Structure 1
């Protein structure tokens, strides 16, 4: 079961935080590269449609991803650590690969103004969903 420190120190992942565009709060996310996080932040702070779709995804079908929103950075760190700690050790590598794929897919779909991300989510695009082996764990991850 990984934690934030494991992902950064042992797997060379990156972490990024940014202010919520609509309302209060701070987003905090982990990814295998800073470029993936920059892409997610770009969508989150960009156009209205993309920002709203992305936020909706992270609070629903994308709950399995290492992304959280909280009122403070300390709360966000706690929520994120709790979320990733729930991943069984035997699935960590598969989860890390799936996170990379999902972030790439989010960027591909979310960088345009034509509701592609929302449509793909509704169609349960496989690149946006956790791998079948992880669904039992990841769609029920703690978010508080």
Structure 2
């Protein structure tokens, strides 16, 4: 869990894990702002449409973000660590993560608003070009 530890200790990021109320598994997110973790949890546990659209985004187009979903805590923490281990020192990635999470929270997308923003290629939501798929 060295990469997660580094994000938390060196860059003052925050981690949160929770069981999805819709039975999709356990989520884990590590983020540069504690509000990001709380708000993402609120949305995934919120109304059906917003929860579904955000959940789909985080697993599909937003798969570059430091969020994972799985069956148990051990697996998701190991998967999250693996997902971020090559990116921890990448300042562009860290800034992009902040911008994407902040954008989602500031826009306060209702209904299918996030889906529409993704279809319109809103820049903060799109994988930075330099990141591998």
Q: When the two structures are superposed, what TM-score results if normalisation uses the length of structure 1?
A: 0.85
RMSD: 1.6
SS of residue in 2 equivalent to 1:10: helix
Q: CA deviation at 1:55?
A: 0.6
Matched residue count: 132
Structure 2: state its 5+ residue gaps: none
The match for 1:115 among 108, 112, 116 is 112
Other-structure match for 2:33: 33
Check conservation: 1:45, 1:51, Cα contact below 8 A.
yes
Distance 2:101 2:117 in 1: 13
Check conservation: 2:36, 2:101, Cα contact below 8 A.
yes
Distance 2:110 2:93 in 1: 29
Q: Structure 1 residue 55 and structure 2 residue 59: aligned?
A: no
Q: For residues 8-31 of structure 1, what are the alpha-carbon distances to aligned partners after superposition, in whole Å with 9 as ceiling and x for unaligned?
A: 011110000111121141100000
Q: CA deviation at 1:114?
A: 3.2
Distance 2:69 2:29 in 1: 9
SS of residue in 2 equivalent to 1:28: strand
Structure 1: state its 5+ residue gaps: none
Change (3 A) 1:88 1:33: closer
Q: When the two structures are superposed, what TM-score results if normalisation uses the length of structure 2?
A: 0.91
Pairing of 1:1-144 with structure 2 (within 5 A) = 3-87=3-87, 89=89, 92-109=90-107, 111-134=108-131, 137=132, 140=133
